Structures are given as C-alpha cells and as structure tokens.
C-alpha cells in the first residue's frame, strides 16, 4: 500500500524504515565490528583461503577442504587465455586509450556476456536439464540426446562447453575432470555431472562423426554443478576468475606503455567490402551561393 506523502512519521519510525531499506544475511557491520555470515572478520583473516571466503559469502557456510580445493582448481583454470581472448585484448586496448585499471577492468568484464563468458552458465543449464531427465528414470544416452535436441531447437547448433576454436583438446578440461574423478573416488562428489558431460561429448562425436572435446567451460560446469552452485553463479565465478587475468594484462600494458593500440597492428589491413572508389557527379555538387543570395539569407 502506498504511503501518504504528507503522512507525519515519528523519528523512531523513520529510523526503522531506513534500517529495513536493505536486508542482508551476508555481512553485519557496526562500529568496531565486521561479521561475515556471523564470523568476525579478524577471525577469518589469516585463517581461511580466498576460495573458502568465496564459498562462505555465496553459500553461507564454510566449505570442506575437498570442496574448497575443487572450487580453487576451477577458478585457477580460467584466469587467462591470452590477448586473443576479447576480454583480455580489451583490457590492454583500454589502457592504451588512457583508462586506469578500474576502467580497463570494467570495459573487459562488460563483454563477458552470453557469447564470451556465458558458455559455462549455459552448459550448467544443459547439464541440469539432462539430470532432470535422469531423475525421471530416462537412460543417460537418450536423456542427453533429448536435452541436446531441445537445446538446439531453442538456441541453435552451438553447444556451449564443447569444442574449441584454438585447442584441438583443451588441456584445462583434462586436468579438471581428473580432479573430479579423484574427488568421486574419495566420495566427496557423486560424479553424476562428470558422467553427463562425458555423455554429451560422446553423443556429439557420434552425431558429427568427429570428436568434439569438452572445453574449459564444459569442465568448470561439471565442477560447479558437482559442488551445487546454480547456473547463474557459474557465470559469476568465471567472471571472478577471469578478472585476475584482466587485471594482470591491464597492469602489464600500463608498464609497457603504448598509445591507442587497436585490435591489430596498422600494418595489417582490415577487409573492406564496400563499393569501389567513386566520385560525385557534376549535378550532385553543391551549388555556389551568389553574393546576392548570401547577403539575403545571412544578413
């Protein structure tokens, strides 16, 4: 119900309403006290790692050592992929255009959207759809085929998390899956999402007649799903990870110098596909003003 603008509100009520404007379970800050999810910050400092802190902030409780190790592995794996990655290139170009580190990082992070940065979240969503079919009793291969067909019908033929424009086989995914397998043997994850990811890979290979290996996004999607993160946080965690590489490249470029560097050297031309050189015909030339018309129009 809308409040009357002329309603007289007692000071105590104003304070109460102001206090309820933001509500959070994450942090409790008072003079001389900062508590994160109930823990005093001075107790956390020097006692837990950054991945443990990320987990605590997002999930509300501290992770086990094994959960923290898997999360850390996924975060480490995605920090950088060189200046051919648009986000990294943008961070460097931004610095050469005069932006400070915060501006360069913001510019780079802003392009981590559905195409460059969203594949992990999309892959987690696909895995979750396959899992729903498995939980309803469908065999894993037919569940995967049906989910892939639905995904392609809705989003197109590109399957996020599989294939790579640069790596025939992504070395990061191999290592990450090996860590998931180790965690599965130790009983810290159940491995269902690893099975789903590998089944997607095999179904795609059968359909296309060639191997379409899981890439970094598919492998981190396995880990984040095994750890119980919802798909949107998969993208957030990737952005958090890649921000480290973005910062490193922006800083390095600031030390190297350079001014207004574009996406490629000036010596390499871009591909112009417009009309060939042409000239104005005589009837298209501007008509010169006579002295009389100029005086008439502008005095």
Other Cβ atoms less than 10 A from the Cβ of 57: the count is: 12
- Structural domain boundaries of the chain? 25-63, 64-263
The predicted-structure confidence for 159-201, as pLDDT tens digits, reads as follows 999 988 788 888 999 999 999 999 999 999 999 999 999 999 9
Span 64-263 CATH architecture? Orthogonal Bundle (1.10)
Query: Which residues of the chain, if any, have pLDDT below 50?
Result: 1
Q: DSSP assignment, residue 62? A: P
Residue 163 is predicted with a pLDDT of 86
Q: What pTM does this model have?
A: 0.88
Residue 8 is predicted with a pLDDT of 82
Buried b (16+ CB within 10 A) or exposed e, 15-53: eeeeeeeeeeeeeeeeeeeebbbeeeeeebeeebeebbb
The predicted-structure confidence for 110-122, as pLDDT tens digits, reads as follows 999 998 889 999 9
Residue 281 is predicted with a pLDDT of 85
């Amino acid at each position: 119900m809308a409040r009357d603008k002329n309603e007289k509100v007692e000071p105590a009520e104003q304070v109460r309403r102001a206090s309820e404007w933001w509500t959070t379970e994450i942090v409790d800050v008072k003079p001389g006290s900062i508590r994160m999810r109930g823990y005093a910050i001075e107790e956390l400092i020097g006692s837990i790692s950054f991945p443990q802190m990320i987990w605590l902030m997002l999930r509300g409780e501290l992770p086990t050592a094994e959960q923290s190790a898997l999360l850390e592995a996924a975060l480490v794996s995605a920090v950088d992929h060189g200046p051919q990655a648009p986000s990294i290139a943008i961070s460097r170009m931004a610095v050469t255009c005069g932006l400070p580190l915060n501006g360069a990082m913001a510019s780079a992070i802003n392009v981590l959207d559905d195409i460059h940065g969203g594949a992990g979240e999309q892959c987690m969503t696909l895995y979750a759809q396959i899992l729903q079919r498995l939980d309803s009793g469908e065999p894993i291969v037919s569940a995967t085929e049906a989910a892939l067909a639905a995904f392609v019908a809705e989003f197109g033929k590109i399957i996020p998390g599989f294939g790579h424009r640069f790596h025939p086989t992504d070395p990061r995914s191999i290592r990450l899956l090996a860590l998931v397998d180790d965690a599965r043997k130790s009983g810290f994850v159940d491995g269902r999402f690893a099975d789903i990811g590998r089944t997607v890979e095999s179904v795609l290979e059968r359909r296309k007649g060639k191997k379409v290996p899981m890439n970094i996004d598919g492998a981190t999607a396995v880990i984040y799903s095994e750890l119980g993160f919802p798909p949107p946080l998969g993208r957030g965690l990737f952005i958090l990870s890649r921000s480290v590489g973005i910062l490193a490249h922006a800083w390095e470029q600031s030390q190297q110098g350079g001014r207004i560097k574009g996406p490629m050297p000036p010596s390499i031309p871009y591909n112009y596909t417009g009309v060939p050189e042409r000239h104005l015909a005589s009837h298209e030339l501007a008509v010169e003003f006579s002295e009389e018309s100029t005086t008439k129009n502008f005095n």
